[in-house]
Structure 1
Amino acid sequence: MSTPLAVPGIPFELIPSAGSEWVVAGERVEVVAPAHTDLFIDPSGESGTAAETMLNAVTLLGAPGAGDFVFSGRVDAEFRAMFDAAVLLVWADDRHWAKLCFEQSPAGTPMVVSVVTRGVSDDANAFTVDGETVWLRVSRVGRLFALHASTDGDWWHFVRAFALGDEIGDVQLGFEGQSPTGEGCRVSFDRVSFTRETLGDLRDGR
C-alpha cells in the first residue's frame, strides 16, 4: 500500500495511486504524469474498461468525510502535448467520478475543461486561459457538486453543477495528472485550501 501524504491546506491524508511518485515540497504538491495516461471512459465504448483507465492515471486521493466542502488550489502544467492536464478529482467508484482540468486544447491553448463520468464520461470545454496557471475549485452542496475556475483566485467562473447518482455515498477527493497523447507532463498544485462550508449562489462569482 502506498504511503499516505500530508498536503498543506488539506486536513486529511491523501494516498498516491500505485506506482505514482507524488512530491510535497513546502506548500506545493506535484507529480510527473507518465506518457499515455488518462482517466476517461469513452462514451463510444472504445476506450477499454474503467479499471484499466484508473490504473493508467496518477492520482492522489483522500476521504473528506460527509458534509459540504469547498476545495480549491492554483494549478499549472508543463504542457507538451494535446490533453496534457492538471486535475482536481472527485472519485466515488470506478464508474462514477468527475474531474476539473487545466488542459492543453487541440489548438495548443490552455483551457479549463470538465468531465463527469456516470457509467461513461462526457467532455465539456469551459474557457481558454491566457496564462500558465489557473485556479480550480470543487464544492459539494448536499448531493450536488459544483465546479468553478478563476484566473485570479478571487472571481470564480461557474463551470457546471451535477450529481454523480442517487446511490453515491462517500467520495474521495484530490489531484490527478495526465498525458493521454503525449510522453509525459509535470503538473503541480499550490495554495491548496479545504474548508467545511456551504457555497451560496453557485453563479455569483464568489
Structure 2
Amino acid sequence: MRIPTLPFDLLASEGSVWTATSSGIEGAAPAGTDLFVDPSGDSGVAAETLLNAHTLLGTPPEGDFTFAAEVTPDLRATFDAGVLLAWVDETNWAKLCFERSPAGEVMIVSVVTKGTSDDANGFIVNAPKARLRLARVGNVLAFHAHDGNGWRFVRAFTLPGAATEVSVGFEAQSPTGDGCRVSYADIAFERRTVADLRNGE
C-alpha cells in the first residue's frame, strides 16, 4: 500500500485488510488479535500468531525521523486499540497504543517487547481520538502523544537493530472483544532529529 505522505511502501500482514480513505487509512482487527507476550510466561502470543497480527508496516529511510498519525479507534472492549508499531522481528518490537483500559478509561499505553513484553500506562485521554508519534534518534526510539498543547513524552528505549533494521507502521487489535475498527488520519513522516526527547521538540 502506498500513502502519499510516506516515503516508503507499506505491506499488510497475512490475512489483514487495510483500505485507503480520503484522510488516510482504515483497518478492522478481528476478534482475538493482539501483540503481547506475557512476561509471567503463563499466557501470551506465540511467534506464529505474532506474524499473523493485524499490521501494516514499511521500512523507513536511513537516519533520524518522526512518524505520526491521528488515531481514532472504535473502542468497545477492554484492550481494543489503535497502534503505532515499531517492528524488528517477532521477538523485538514496540507499540504505542490508544487503548481502552480494564476500567473503561481511554488511555495512552506503551509496550516494549524483547522476548517478552512489558506494559506501561501513560495518561488518560478524554477524547475519541489521539495524535501519536514515533521518533528515531540514532539507535534510540521514542514515543510521544499530543495533548492538544504539545507533545507529551511517553518513553524512550531501543531495540536490536533500531538504527537500521526497524520497520514502522500501524496495528489494530481486539484481544478480548469482537473486533476493532481503527482509522488513521493526517499521517506524517519527517526526516528530522527530535532534539529533546523529554519535551518532544
Q: Shorter-chain-normalised TM-score: which range? A: over 0.9
1:157 pairs, out of 152, 159, 166, with 152
Corresponding residue for residue 180 of structure 1: 175
Once the two structures are superposed, residues 42-95 of structure 1 have per-residue CA deviations (whole angstroms, 9 ceiling, x without a partner) of: 11122242222331x210000103211100111011111000000000000111
Per the alignment, do residues 169 and 204 of structure 1 end up closer, same or farther by CA in structure 2, a change over 3 Å counting? Answer: closer
Which amino acid in 2 is paired with 1:146?
A: A
* Cα RMSD, aligned residues only: 1.4
Looking at structure 2, the residues matched to 171 and 99 of structure 1 have their Cα atoms a distance apart, in angstroms, of: 12
Superposed counterparts of 1:37-76, under 5 Å: 37-45=33-41, 46-55=43-52, 57-76=53-72
Which amino acid in 1 is paired with 2:193?
A: T
Which amino acid in 2 is paired with 1:194?
A: F
2:144–2:153 contact (8 Å) kept in structure 1: yes
Q: Does 1:102 align with 2:115?
A: no
1:88 pairs, out of 63, 72, 84, with 84
Residue 167 of structure 1 deviates from its aligned partner by 8.3
Q: TM-score, normalised by structure 2?
A: 0.95
Q: Does 1:18 align with 2:14?
A: yes
Which range is displaced more, 23-32 or 164-173? 164-173
Looking at structure 2, the residues matched to 168 and 140 of structure 1 have their Cα atoms a distance apart, in angstroms, of: 8
Which amino acid in 1 is paired with 2:120?
A: A
1:66–1:170 contact (8 Å) kept in structure 2: no
2:63–2:163 contact (8 Å) kept in structure 1: no
1:83–1:180 contact (8 Å) kept in structure 2: yes
3-state SS, counterpart of residue 51 of structure 1: helix
2:111–2:119 contact (8 Å) kept in structure 1: yes
2:54–2:172 contact (8 Å) kept in structure 1: yes
Corresponding residue for residue 199 of structure 2: 204
1:92–1:168 contact (8 Å) kept in structure 2: no
Alignment identity in percent?
Answer: 51
Looking at structure 1, the residues matched to 26 and 177 of structure 2 have their Cα atoms a distance apart, in angstroms, of: 18
Structure 1 outlier segments of 4+, above 6 Å: none
The answer for unaligned runs of 5 or more in structure 1 is none
Per the alignment, do residues 70 and 48 of structure 1 end up closer, same or farther by CA in structure 2, a change over 3 Å counting? Answer: closer
1:193 pairs, out of 183, 188, 195, with 188
3-state SS, counterpart of residue 112 of structure 1: strand
Which range is displaced more, 61-70 or 176-185? 61-70
Superposed counterparts of 1:128-167, under 5 Å: 128-152=124-148, 155-165=150-160
3-state SS, counterpart of residue 51 of structure 2: helix
Q: What is the number of residues matched between the two proteins?
A: 200
1:40–1:50 contact (8 Å) kept in structure 2: no
